[in-house]
Structure 1
């Protein structure tokens, strides 16, 4: 995938309802430059896929689509095989599957682990994202306010590494630095990170000019910390907010419902290989479904 393909692939993703965040596709490409492809017939791009190799332990497949006019001809299988070949030898591979694709992916050795729910906050419910009370000794701080000298990125990277299948400093480092996004973190009285979240504008499928917000990741040690982060990130945004949360975390379910979020879709997290052991009770929102 060349840099010139990014606007085209982003528009494909918008039309499919992926709701990509502004700048997301460029981050995907920089995470593993050899792990994104566009499939072409001659000079005409017809589909794309990402097969991101984080390290020898973990990889993820996403951003997988073929333009509607070219489906049913085997082009998706060709892209799929390309991604799997790139991830050959990786101990565990993850993906997010549409429910109707579970049988297809199971033929390639993938097994369902849990559902992921997409939640949407209507603009009319925005007022409910306020008043989250932090326990004594905690504070929500904008990462930009801390500055590079305070090591805010290192605080977040260390915290994130405890909640993911494998550390992802290259991906997350660029994810946090994107100008289109805002990053907030919760610190305790010792200055340690106890949670963080990021929100950025996203492109909605409703029409070519529709803009909302995509929130993720959202990680925290406890619901009051996650709630304070959620309120801070959402309260002053106009337009709908989207967040993808593991259904197996009931604390996320309660927190989002209390603030007026509504379930807008469902995918299934699948793995080939031994699934990673994740502290799902601390995961209130995924960074993005395309890269896990």
Structure 2
């Protein structure tokens, strides 16, 4: 029988340890990711302790009164098989129990496990990789008439928030503001003459199991052509391993990744418990992060 875990909210001092755990599991955590998870829901990221020894973590983030997501779920290898993961899992589920929908990303070998808790598969998610070099073009070709490619502080934040809210499972203004304003990496947006957004994306440094690389996400655009424009701009000057996670619910994402020289390296499955979000993901070419959906 497992000893009882003391499960407490993640503190700032825990972030380096949790980031190292995520790196060892090949989650490829981005710079600043875990701190943003904590800021999105201060009571929604936890570390499990056996006495003075931390042994695992989980996130159960409430985006709003309608939607939450469970991720960053792990137990250190030497403590697995003793029920500590189950205690963390139940704690996160209880935190989100009153929400009409909860999402997770599941590996293929865990689908039956999560189904026992009421989760149903929705669509596959593919992680793609490409090695970027100085020879990559700076742009994806000429921009359509009336569109500008803006960077950093030039980007109209409210226009991006409105664009994202119409294309993601649930509005996430606090998370997105932290995500796009983080100093690590670069953010680009396509904006028309009236200030409306037609796509945006972020690239950030990440920690690979061995070495470092870059993760793109989110990446949203009106069309594959505009997604290509954003990808070219984001990848430019960011050499090395580049990762992006595409939702299977966007049928245009896979052919675009193949066309641009990415190759698949892993797959997971998006699952939901409750009423699955009705929003189309047809304009979503890259998820912000698998840990928070």
* Common fold: TM-score over 0.5: yes
Distance in 1 of aligned mates of 2:136 and 2:98: 49
Q: How does 1:1-292 map to 2 (within 5 A)?
A: 1-123=10-132, 127=136, 130-146=139-155, 152-206=156-210, 210-292=211-293
8 Å Cα contact 2:219-2:285 kept in structure 1: yes
Report the more deviating stretch, 37-46 or 182-191: 182-191
Distance in 2 of aligned mates of 1:172 and 1:204: 23
8 Å Cα contact 1:129-1:230 kept in structure 2: no
8 Å Cα contact 2:215-2:242 kept in structure 1: yes
User: Counting helix residues as a fraction of each chain, which structure ranks higher?
Assistant: 1
* Ranges in structure 1 where 5+ consecutive residues have no aligned partner: 147-151
Deviations 1:154-205 (A, max 9, x none): 1111111101222111111111111113110001222211110011000001
8 Å Cα contact 1:125-1:259 kept in structure 2: no
Deviations 1:244-270 (A, max 9, x none): 001232211122111111101100000
Classify the secondary structure of the residue corresponding to 2:36. Answer: helix
Distance in 2 of aligned mates of 1:133 and 1:254: 21
Report the more deviating stretch, 238-247 or 126-135: 126-135
After the TM superposition, which segments of 4 or more aligned residues of structure 1 sit over 4 Å from their partners? none
Distance in 1 of aligned mates of 2:137 and 2:261: 7
Classify the secondary structure of the residue corresponding to 2:206. Answer: strand
TM-score by length of 1: 0.94
Classify the secondary structure of the residue corresponding to 2:161. Answer: helix
Distance in 1 of aligned mates of 2:90 and 2:134: 43
Distance in 2 of aligned mates of 1:193 and 1:248: 22
8 Å Cα contact 2:199-2:220 kept in structure 1: yes
Distance in 2 of aligned mates of 1:94 and 1:57: 11
- Number of paired residues? 284
Which residue pairs with 2:3 in the alignment?
A: none
* Ranges in structure 2 where 5+ consecutive residues have no aligned partner: 1-9
Deviation at 1:71, TM superposition (A): 0.4
Classify the secondary structure of the residue corresponding to 1:158. Answer: helix
Deviation at 1:126, TM superposition (A): 6.2
Deviation at 1:54, TM superposition (A): 1.1
